[in-house]
Structure 1
Amino acid sequence: MLIEWLLIPFAYLLGSVSSAVIVSRALGLPDPRQEGSKNPGATNVLRLGGKQAAILTLLGDASKGLVPLLIAKSVGASPPLMAAVGFAAFVGHLYPVFFQFKGGKGVATALGVLLGFAWPVGVMALLTWLGVAALFRFSSLAALAAAVLAPVYVWFWLGSAELVVSTMFMSTLLVYRHKSNIERLLKGEETRLGARRP
């Protein structure tokens, strides 16, 4: 039982690994913490280095949320432990111990967590993001829409109070981390997908 609960610190430490920084260094790109939006996430890497770098960052960040939950499932983790592991991975991305607790906004890692809870939940969240992004061309707006609906998807597919609460906490933090984006959206100043930040 104790070994199972060690998955929580493991998930946090894995979440603390910055895919954006690693990919950017490997490809000789600018540090995403210093350039563009200064957010170490896939959207900023897309603007700074193109689609290949962004895809690698996205996969890396999503894996940080998915892998700990796959391990948890393999050892028969209970819903409360699953909820804690997923949330720990997400918080690790937002507040990474390896990078002075200054991380990304958590969209891709949250997607990985949702896929770990149940793949249909993750697919629904991804389709929500893709649909809103295709209609409005704002990554931040798409992320906010997916975040708001994610707890509904979890409840519909899983009906677990613990997983719903964990998802609600993730969604709340995700919205909070997008507060500057929300301000720019309201002012009509948000950068659209595919455009470089001035």
Structure 2
Amino acid sequence: MENLIIYLLAYLIGAIPFGLLLAQIFAKTNIKNAGSKSIGATNVLRVVKESDPKLAKTLAVATIVLDALKGIVPILVAKILGYDENILWTMAV
């Protein structure tokens, strides 16, 4: 049961749409309605650049960094807590 909770937490952290959140909070723009309608860094850059190019670059870089961290941090935390390597691999997948 503990493994399922760990997997669920890792999944929920990975499901945070940082590109969408950052664009809505800082640029007051819903990127799902413009550009490629993707919530990734490229669409954040494309859509926000129309109104504020400097903010667009900052938000795109922040999106990339936060998206990478949401994959790395849960695995590092599980490793520090001493979970088995098989659990870490399953979380990564």
Q: Same fold (TM over 0.5)?
A: yes
Q: What is the distance in 1 between the residues matched to 2:33 and 2:66?
A: 20
> What is the Cα deviation at residue 77 of structure 1?
2.0
Residue 45 (structure 1) aligns with: 44
Deviations 1:58-109 (A, max 9, x none): 122111101110111112222221111112xxxxxxxxxxxxxxxxxxxxxx
Instruction: Spell out structure 1 runs of 4+ moving beyond 6 A.
Output: none
Q: TM-score, normalised by structure 1?
A: 0.40
1:12 and 2:11 aligned: yes
Residue 65 (structure 2) aligns with: 59
Question: Structure 2, unaligned stretches of length 5 or more?
Answer: 49-55
Higher relative contact order (CA 8 A, sep 6+): 2
Q: What is the distance in 2 between the residues matched to 1:31 and 1:53?
A: 13
Amino acid at match of 2:32: R
> What is the Cα deviation at residue 37 of structure 1?
0.9
Q: What is the distance in 1 between the residues matched to 2:67 and 2:31?
A: 14
Q: Helix, strand or coil for the counterpart of 1:33?
A: helix
Which residues in structure 2 correspond to 1:1-198 (within 5 Å)?
A: 2-3=1-2, 5=3, 6-49=5-48, 50-87=56-93
**8 A contact 1:29–1:48 mirrored in 2:** no
Q: TM-score, normalised by structure 2?
A: 0.81
% identical equivalent positions: 32
RMSD: 1.4
> What is the Cα deviation at residue 28 of structure 1?
2.2
Deviations 1:114-143 (A, max 9, x none): xxxxxxxxxxxxxxxxxxxxxxxxxxxxxx
Question: Structure 1, unaligned stretches of length 5 or more?
Answer: 88-198
Amino acid at match of 1:75: L
Q: Helix, strand or coil for the counterpart of 2:16?
A: coil
Deviations 1:157-192 (A, max 9, x none): xxxxxxxxxxxxxxxxxxxxxxxxxxxxxxxxxxxx
Amino acid at match of 1:51: K
